[in-house]
Structures are given as C-alpha cells and as structure tokens.
Amino acid sequence: MEILYLLVPLSVVLVFAIMVMFAWALRSGQLDDIDREGERILRNDPDEVDANQAAR
C-alpha cells in the first residue's frame, strides 16, 4: 500500500493538469455552443476527419 503515498499526490497533480487542459478547450471556443454538439452526428456533410478516413 506504500504506492498510495505516490499515487495520491500524483492524482492531485493530474487534477490540475486536467483543469489546464479544460481551460485550453474553453479558450479555444469548444464549449461555446454545447447544444449543437449532440446533433453533429446527424448532419450530412462529413467532417474532415471522416473524409480523410473514407479516402484511405
């Protein structure tokens, strides 16, 4: 159980890292229009990612 003495502090660091990642996502505007994201899958035009995979 000694590993917990490492893992618990590590999890604190991880929380801060995730919060920084979230801040980056927020600042790049990914959460500005949440309502729309759920319906993106229903749209006709393929996303760039899908188009790349289809070409392969």
Partner 1 sequence: MSLPSSTEAPPELRAPPEAVRALSPTQVVAVDDDRSLAAHTQWIEGLQGERLGQSRLLLSGLHCAACAGLIEEALGRVDGVRIAEVNGAAQRAVVTWDPARTRMSVLIAAVRRAGYGAFPDTGAQAVVQAARESRQAVWRLFVAAFCMMQVMMYATPAYMAEAGDLSADMAQLLRWASWVLSIPVLLFAAGPFLHGAWRSLRERRIGMDVPVTLGIVVTFVASSAATFGSDGPFGAEVYFDSMTMFVSFLLAARWLESRARQRAAQSLDAVMRRLPDAVERLDASGQAEWVTPGELGIGDRIRVHVGQAFAADGVIEQGSTQVDEAVLTGESRPVERGPGQEVAAGSLNLGSPVQVRVTQLGAQTRYQRIVSLVERALTQRPGFMLSADRIAGPFLWVVLGLAVAAYAVWSWIDPSRALWIAVSVLIVTCPCALSLGAPVALIAAAGELARRGVLLQRLDALEVLTRARHLVFDKTGTLTEDRLSPAPTVWLRALSPAEQSGAARLAADLAGQSAHPLSRALVHADDATREGASPPICDWQDVAELAGQGLQARLASGGEAGVWRLGSAAWCHAEGDAPLRPAVWLAREVQGQWQAWARFEFDEVLRPDAASSVAVMQRSGWSVHLLSGDQAASVQGMARRLGLPGEQARAQCSPQDKLAAVEALQARGDVVVMVGDGINDAPVLARSDVSVAMGSAAALAQARADVIVLSNRIGDLLVLHEMAQRTLAIVRQNLRWAFFYNLACVPLALVGWLPPWAAGLGMAASSLLVVLNALRLTRHSAGFPSAEGVAAEPRTA
Which residues contact partner 1 (rule: CB under 8 A)?
Answer: 1, 4-5, 8-9, 11-12, 15, 18-19, 22-23, 26-27, 31-36, 38-40, 42-43, 45
Min CB(51)–partner 1 separation in Å: 15
Min CB(50)–partner 1 separation in Å: 15
Min CB(43)–partner 1 separation in Å: 5
Token pair 């994201």 in the structure block, residue: 37
Contacts of 31 (CB under 8 A, 6+ apart): 25
DSSP labels, 33-50: -HHHHTTGGG-SSPPHHH
